[in-house]
Structure 1
Amino acid sequence: MLADRVIAPGDRLAVGWPKVLWLYLMLVPALLWAPAAFTWPRFVASALLTFATVGVGHSIGLHRGLIHRAYRCSRLTRGVLAYLAVQAGMGAPLAWIRVHHYRDYWQNQPDCPRYFAYRHSALRDYFWNLHLAFQPADDARYPLPAAVLHDPWLRWLDKTWYWHVLGFIALLAVAFGPEVAVVCGFARISTAILGHWFVNYMVHSYGYARYRIEQATESGYNDWLLGLLSFGEGFHNNHHAHPASAKLSTAWYEVDLGWPAVRLLQWLGLVWRVQAVGHTPTQRRRARTGPLRWRFWWQK
């Protein structure tokens, strides 16, 4: 059976040396020097940069905008948001889009390979997702957005993204000193990479769910705290059920900090035709609402 395989026949997994080297290029200086360089003003500056790059750039611009088309915007706005996503330091934008579509496709199949199914330990997932590169046998199987993948600006960013990130870290070092570069550069990016991996693993493994996706291996889970800390990305069961929604929360006690940012962009006229649960029809036809289902760590 396909679910017994790590990946589908014909697909390949190989060590992704560029992403491995990038991860530890960021992580090692952060571990060695960030504790000594820490101050509260630098921490606040790093947090603000994280909100701009991870929250606005990656979550709103890349995930909700480019991948799920939850709103419409001009090419200029899309380009600026993509550049902020690049400065999150988590990887090339088009590579992110491809991987997201690969994972989304398989998780919505009844017989999902183990690599995408999150039935393994956190340690194994750390190695699989942060050290391996998935190479599909045939891209035609996946609903990849051709117009986005051939956008000249995004293609250029995809090839040069690391130079932009390293250039910004160098600018921080020259303008404010190496300690600021460590805290607002290396430590911020390491936290973003590891934080994204951790949230993604947790909300596919544990939490509460109000939706079940028919004929899908993964319906995801919600976690209130991780949702708050990850700009709403921790409400993953909601996202599986409402993939085209720019609003990832569906209950009053779920705080999606990305949603007020989307509303601000809408108020400024930078985005329009915003799709949002509770405002427009966004529920996947295969999603069925039911009583809350909980899954805890001892049930894995």
Structure 2
Amino acid sequence: MWTETAAPVAGRPLVPLSVGRVRFDVFKSLWLWAMLLPGLVFGLPAVTPALLAASLGMAFLTLCLGHSVGLHRGVIHRAYEAGPVVRGALLYLFVLTGLGGPLSWARLHAVRDYWQNQEDCPPYFAYRHPVWRDFVWNLHLRFEPADDRALARLPPGLLEDRWLRFLEWTWPLHVLALAAVTFAVGGPGAVAVFVCARTAVGILGHWFVGYAAHVWGEQRHVIPGSTESGTNVWLLGVLSFGEGFHNNHHAFASSARMGMRAEELDLGWLSLRGLEACGLVHSLQAWDRPPVKDRQAHQATPGASG
């Protein structure tokens, strides 16, 4: 259920009606708090070294390999190639993050990229507001576009992919199934830590890195004609598997490598190099590698990132 909101910012609507509408997303809001509150109330007292280690390992598998490597770099930006089994497995790991459906994320990413690379970017997609407001907008509202022009930024056929469509419709069930298995093995405390707290930290962490990496930090690259060029926040870049080096990503959107300096530790890139060494992925595109032939034309242009 969505409830429309039209709260203006400095006299401007969040988005013009010609661009789309912003609505309060009841399910999105409830999902966050249904994970956060049990994680805090029941998870903190139940934490053990073994359970914490298992949760951190699962966070790496889902957030690094699933979200950053699988969905963001692999599917949305096509910064490398992988067979259907590897690709499908990485996308399933993304679903287990509890962040949402892969197609919803791909659509929003395309729309956000499109408008952030315009000079007349609506307030909803531009980071010209305080962090508390972004907390409400990003984690409780949902954008409904007025047209599909921004979807041209996605690889052809992505929205018709059967595996992605299946995961889009069923993603909460997979998280709940993981919770059921965890309950059977470790009881309610394990669910509160391994599923609820981990999911809530993933949602909040992704949101905060996204905000910080557009507002604070270093900006070495400026994209001409764009409202947003992102920033690099070293600590968050390391902790978010490279995603916090967001100014680098804006400038080299088709690069699977987001860290550019020796100190910019990009665990997502290192993971991809490991997968490449095992023969599981190939044709890695990177800012410091020769261009890969036959790459999608729209992915070869800097500044196609959000």
**Where does residue 148 of structure 1 map in the other structure?**
158
Question: Normalised by the size of structure 1, how large is the TM-score?
Answer: 0.92
Cα 1:29–1:104 change in 2 (3 A) is same
1:241 aligns with 2:251: yes
SS across alignment from 1:210 = coil
CA contact (8 A) 1:207 1:221 kept: yes
Q: Which moved more, 1:72-81 or 1:61-70?
A: 72-81
Match of 1:252 among 250, 262, 265: 262
Q: Identity rate of aligned residues, in percent?
A: 48
Letter in 1 for 2:265: V
Structure 1 position 110 matched with structure 2 position 119 = yes
Consecutive unaligned residues in structure 2, runs of 5 or more: 1-10, 293-298
185-194 vs 34-43, greater mean Cα deviation: 34-43
Provide, for residues 19-66 of structure 1, a one-character-per-residue CA deviation record: whole Å limited to 9, x for no partner. Answer: 111111111111111110111211111000000000100000000000
CA gap of 1:132–1:79, structure 2 versus 1, over 3 A, is same
* Letter aligned with residue 102 of structure 1: V
The alpha-carbon deviation at position 110 of structure 1 amounts to 1.1
In the TM superposition, what are the counterparts of 1:1-300 in structure 2 within 5 Å? 4-10=12-18, 11-143=20-152, 144-281=154-291
Task: Render the CA deviation track for 1:238-268: whole Å, top value 9, x for unaligned.
Answer: 0000101111001111111111100011111
CA distance in 2, matches of 1:134, 1:146: 22
**What residue identity is the alignment partner of 1:6?**
L
TM-score, length basis structure 2: 0.90
The alpha-carbon deviation at position 274 of structure 1 amounts to 0.4
Could you tell me whether the CA contact under 8 Å between 2:252 and 2:302 is conserved in 1? no
Q: Distance in 2 between matches of 1:276 and 1:15?
A: 38
Deviation at 1:4, TM superposition (A): 4.2
1:286–1:69 distance in 2 versus 1, CA, 3 Å: closer
> Is contact 1:241-1:284 (8 Å) kept?
no
| Deviation string, structure 1 residues 104-135 (Cα, Å, up to 9, x no partner) | 10001111111101100111100001011100
The question of whether the paired residues in 2 share the 8 Å contact of 1:214 and 1:286 is answered with: no
Measured after TM superposition, the shift of residue 5 of structure 1 is: 3.9
Question: What one-letter code is carried by the residue in structure 1 that aligns with 2:16?
Answer: A
Count the aligned residue pairs.
Answer: 285
The alpha-carbon deviation at position 141 of structure 1 amounts to 4.1
Q: What are the superposed Cα offsets for residues 56-97 of structure 1, whole Å, 9 maximum, x if unpaired?
A: 000000000000000011111111110000001100010000
When the two chains are superposed, the root-mean-square deviation of aligned CA atoms in Å is 1.6
**Runs of 4+ displaced beyond 2 Å:** 280-287
Q: Distance in 2 between matches of 1:219 and 1:66?
A: 22
After superposition, the Cα gap between the structure-2 partners of 1:115 and 1:30, relative to the gap in structure 1 and judged at 3 Å, is same
Match of 2:218, SS? strand
Q: CA 1:141 to 1:242, structure 2 compared with 1: closer, same or farther past 3 Å?
A: closer
- Deviation larger for 198-207 or 144-153: 144-153
Question: Matches of 1:81 and 1:137 in 2, distance apart?
Answer: 31
